Amino acid sequence: MNYAGFWRRFIASVVDSILLTVVFNALTWLAFSESLKSNQTLLFVITIIPTWLYYALLESSAKQGTLGKIILGMKVVDYSNQRISFARATGRYFSKIISFVILMIGFIMVAFTSRKQGLHDIMAGTVVIKS
């Protein structure tokens, strides 16, 4: 397998982050009153579910990746080079919390592991390959 490296994955993450930020900001501006916009807890809860669904649905779809990954020519697969299930994609998404909490070390691992895996990839049994 031809594994996708750190920088390619980082740029895909930036693309996804920009896309999600633009969409959520537009929806928040259009759909919520000023009092709701100032409620940070509510906004966090409202964004966590669509963000999880964005990653889990797209990475378990026939395209096997988020828009950022698709644009940069990557896909998420299991160790047998097969499409991952929605459940595995969900586990991968929520495992990123651990990668984040430990000072991003779980993401930085991508640059140093033989299969270019982050902690969340290892936990979910996935790899990101060039398509």
Alpha-carbon distance values, 30 to 21, 24, 115 (Å):
14, 10, 43
Residue 90 lies in a domain: yes
| 1 in a structural domain | no
Q: pTM value? A: 0.91
Number of folded domains in the chain?
1
pLDDT in tens, 62-120: 999 999 999 999 999 999 999 999 999 999 999 999 999 999 999 999 999 999 999 99
- The helix (run of H) or strand (run of E) holding residue 60 is none
Q: What would the pLDDT profile of 10-19 be if each residue is shown by its tens digit? A: 999 999 999 9
Domain that holds residue 64: 6-130
Distance CA 62, CA 129 (A): 15
Cβ-based neighbour number of residue 101 at 10 Å? 10
